[in-house]
Structure 1
Amino acid sequence: MQRHSSKMTKAEVAEQVAVELISSPMNNDIYICGFNMSSLAPKWKFSISVAGIFILYICFGALQEAIFSANDLRSYSPFLTLYQFGIYSILSLFELRAQGYLLFNSWTHLYAVVAVLTLGSIAFSNASVGFLNYPTQVIFKCCKMIPVLLGGVIIQGKRYSIYEVTAVLLMTLGLICFTLVDVSIQPKFTLFGVFLVSLALCCDGALGNCQEVIMKKYVRSNTEILFYSYSVGFCLLATVLTISGNLLPSFYFFNDHALQTYGYGFIFSLSGYFGVQFVLCLVHSHGALTAVTVTTFRKAVSITLSFIMFEKPFSQGYIWSGLLVVFGLYLNLYNKNRSTWNTTILNKLKSFHLIKSDTKSILSV
């Protein structure tokens, strides 16, 4: 059914990859919390999806920043990822059982690769929050297309259009400008945080391309992919923490700060898991353009609330840098929908009598 899942940052990352998950023509039903949304009227799908996206992802972002702001969690962020993976594994298993789905056990070795990349994506993303200004982390996570394009060239030998290359250059320029603003005004800025979030993006890019290679040969439930990714990732991370001797110290630290870790982390994980379901529903009912517009606006709201709720210096440079990234996102989206967009633009211009009715679109040339 669905194509691939970059649910990496679970929410963030999950959110951006959700646009790609819906691309399969076999995906006719969308379930949210066990309820089939397919029978609802389009306006209700839109309203419910938008409300869910804003409520859940704003909670996700606020709780993620609150967890790292309330405690010095830098040394224990892998345990937060372990806790997150455990919750995701249980939720995806319940979802599979509720749908009466039989697990495809012979695929375990293939899912191990996806599990490692998913683990790297979420673990590095979580860890970066402890070293980066949260708005900067959000902006970086918006630019998943950069490693996806590079991964496509390296892993699959793909060739990309001038629009896609230009979009990546704009995003890269926006990231550089955003980072330079951070360097100039953030007293605790560290390049290690940029390194961590860049590793998360690289995992995202490799994950998407690996899943695409697998999906060309097999068609499996997205929930099944998630279950194996998170359950195998949980076992791998638990093993690493045990061998490194960090499992028990992290466990004791979380027990000493139960509300800010287990409590916030539980709601944080639920918000991330179910948030992506609302994104899927919106893409399914109203298309990728609407979904990208809503999620981009949601991220802008999250960044604004971050400056309001958590005291940090602000500069107008953040706005201009962010606009470069947004423009790159929409240029990439335009490239994927050129014929439809060109026709729509031409019809709008004709309806406002800005061009003659018999004029052909120069964009189609």
Structure 2
Amino acid sequence: MQELLFTLDGFKPMGWYLTLVQFAYYSLFGWLEMKLKRESSRRIPMKTYFVLALLTLGTMGFSNSSLGYLNYPTQVIFKCCKLIPVMIGSVLLQSKRYGFLDVSAVMCMCVGLVFFTLADSQVSPIFDVIGVVMISCALLCDAVIGNVQEKSMKSYKASNTEVVLYSYAIGFAYLFIILALTNNLFAGVAFFAKHPVETYGYAFIFSATGYLGIQIVLTLVRTCGALAAATVTTARKAVTIALSFFAFTKPFTIQYLWAGCIVVLGIYLSVLSKRHKNFGVRDVVQFTDKIKGFVVKPKRKIITSV
């Protein structure tokens, strides 16, 4: 749905206004859910929500706007590698430590991302370095937001609905003021009014499915941690890329395929590390020694009595 919106003529500069509409829908959904659940008390301090709202705005705003300058699969493959900044953020903000497999996963994702971007720059008619800068800014915000959410939700035992409502409602206020001061608000209103079904209608479907996804991601953040949530959402994006090439006409090169496979290898290594949390370099050596001992068995001496 997000890619479909950007196929409209003249929609390229509307990424930030789309974010404003998306934030409005999310705030409405969060308010309705809180009313249905009869939740009224706020657990997380407002100063934390001011930070979360700013990070949420950066993540979604830059991500939406980057589609005006990049092919959708390239944007998605960048978001696949959000594991990299999330891991760095976990080390800096929560003093977490990661093992051999996690580091190997990050290296695979970095290499795959570089080759995927190089392929896009060669065959894409709309490739622009501005898009790379925008999606990189979105990833930097991702590096912080998941860890802040994890720490806040565990410390204050706040519900998913509360986090969504306050983060997006405050983010809506931020963005509304920014667009009004830069005169982009009225341009967005005028463009959306000309195509209400293709803009507000598609944005509603995009936001409704996105809201459900956010609830699932926040549950993963609460129960499994920010890195595990990033891994699951990254694996989901493989289907998104496949559907993008199937539904929309765009240039294709074999370099997309093998670069994407390197990223998928990184995802697999990350998932594998969750099953073996203490898997490190020493374990690799021990595992290799066991294999050698199994393959090359010592010959047994047969002793017979006379």
Same fold (TM over 0.5): yes
Q: Secondary structure at the residue paired with 1:181?
A: helix
Counterpart position of 1:134: 72
Change (3 A) 1:199 1:69: same
Counterpart position of 2:182: 244
Counterpart position of 1:78: 16
One-letter amino acid of the structure 1 residue matched with residue 250 of structure 2: K
Q: Deviations over 1:169-212 (max 9, x none)?
A: 11010100100111121122111111111111111111112223
Are 2:100 and 1:162 equivalent residues in the alignment?
A: yes
Distance in 2, matches of 1:294 and 1:143, equals 12
Aligned residues: 278
| 1:293, distance to aligned residue in structure 2 (A) | 9.5
Distance in 1, matches of 2:197 and 2:36, equals 30
Which of 78, 82, 93 lines up with 1:144 in the alignment?
82
Q: Deviations over 1:143-164 (max 9, x none)?
A: 1111112222333444322221
Distance in 1, matches of 2:44 and 2:153, equals 15
Counterpart position of 1:317: 255
| 1:278, distance to aligned residue in structure 2 (A) | 6.0
Distance in 1, matches of 2:237 and 2:98, equals 27
Q: Secondary structure at the residue paired with 1:104?
A: coil
Which of 42, 63, 68 lines up with 1:125 in the alignment?
63
Change (3 A) 1:191 1:329: same
| 1:168, distance to aligned residue in structure 2 (A) | 0.8
Which of 53, 68, 75 lines up with 1:115 in the alignment?
53
Counterpart position of 1:274: 212
Counterpart position of 1:253: 191
Are 2:147 and 1:209 equivalent residues in the alignment?
A: yes
Distance in 2, matches of 1:201 and 1:293, equals 14
Which of 26, 29, 32 lines up with 1:88 in the alignment?
26
Contact 2:22 2:207 in 1 (8 A): yes
Trace 1:303-314 onto structure 2 (pairs within 5 A). 303-314=241-252
Counterpart position of 1:43: none
Greater C-alpha radius of gyration: 2
Counterpart position of 2:36: 98
Q: What is the TM-score normalised by the length of structure 2?
A: 0.82
Distance in 2, matches of 1:207 and 1:280, equals 11
Which of 130, 153, 163 lines up with 1:225 in the alignment?
163
Distance in 1, matches of 2:45 and 2:277, equals 38
Distance in 1, matches of 2:233 and 2:87, equals 21
Change (3 A) 1:162 1:105: closer
Q: Deviations over 1:243-287 (max 9, x none)?
A: 112111211111112222111111111121124456788999xxx
Which of 166, 185, 192 lines up with 2:123 in the alignment?
185
Counterpart position of 1:174: 112
One-letter amino acid of the structure 2 residue matched with residue 108 of structure 1: M
Please list every run of 5 or more consecutive structure 1 residues that lacks an aligned counterpart in the other structure: 1-62, 285-290, 342-354, 357-365
Change (3 A) 1:334 1:225: same
Trace 1:337-348 onto structure 2 (pairs within 5 A). 337-338=275-276
Distance in 2, matches of 1:179 and 1:127, equals 17
Contact 2:44 2:156 in 1 (8 A): no
Work out the percentage of aligned pairs sharing the same amino acid.
47
Contact 2:160 2:215 in 1 (8 A): no
Q: Secondary structure at the residue paired with 2:78?
A: helix
Change (3 A) 1:198 1:70: same
Change (3 A) 1:244 1:279: closer
Greater mean alpha carbon deviation, residues 249-258 or residues 297-306: 297-306
One-letter amino acid of the structure 1 residue matched with residue 12 of structure 2: R
Q: Deviations over 1:27-56 (max 9, x none)?
A: xxxxxxxxxxxxxxxxxxxxxxxxxxxxxx
Are 2:136 and 1:198 equivalent residues in the alignment?
A: yes
Distance in 2, matches of 1:281 and 1:200, equals 22
One-letter amino acid of the structure 2 residue matched with residue 316 of structure 1: I
One-letter amino acid of the structure 1 residue matched with residue 177 of structure 2: T
Q: Secondary structure at the residue paired with 2:41?
A: coil
Change (3 A) 1:266 1:116: same
Trace 1:10-49 onto structure 2 (pairs within 5 A). none
Question: Cα RMSD over matched residues?
Answer: 2.9
| 1:165, distance to aligned residue in structure 2 (A) | 1.4
Q: What is the TM-score normalised by the length of structure 1?
A: 0.69
Q: Secondary structure at the residue paired with 1:311?
A: coil
